[in-house]
Amino acid sequence: MELATFAGGCFWCTEAIFERLRGVLKVESGYTSGDKEDPSYEEVSSGTTGHAEANQITFDPKIISYKNLLEIFFKLHDPTTINRQGSDIGEQYRSAIFYHSDEQKKTAEFLKSKIPGVVTEILPSGKFYIAEAYHQDYYNQNNSAPYCKLVIDPKIQKLYKEFKEFTK
């Protein structure tokens, strides 16, 4: 098993995407790359801690590769806007890849170089703080909520359309 850590805006959106992939065993929503130990959602949302909302993904590279995860990541969020995803604005919604090995770093840098205008940061992984329980598996527990219908559903539809071969 390997770990991948991505920040692509609201962690509810990206969690819902990665949970639907074959070879992904676990997706945890949380916070990384900030200054405060064990921050709360409210603290991260204030934009004062330096953390990004992120997902830590445990996956089986024999079933889905890190490169495949990155391709999906780049396609299902906007990697060309600084500190923004849709109406979510702030440093906590930035686009970033937190690599766990030199090989992951090289793969991320290579794929980033192939996409014009990408501002996604590529940084070494650091301490990952798991978000509060009510943020975990958010879409599956709240899929009729307006945010899920308006923001997450289109991303899931795009996943099934463009990456069907990787979905469960």
Q: Which residues are catalytic, by number?
A: 10
Question: Around 126, how many Cα atoms within 13 Å sit in the side-chain half-sphere?
Answer: 15
The phi and psi torsions of 36 (rounded to 5 degrees) equal: -100, 135
Q: Which amino acid is at 92?
A: Q
Residue position matching structure tokens 């329980």: 133
Closest CA to 61 of 93, 100, 88: 100
Q: How many residues does the chain have?
A: 168
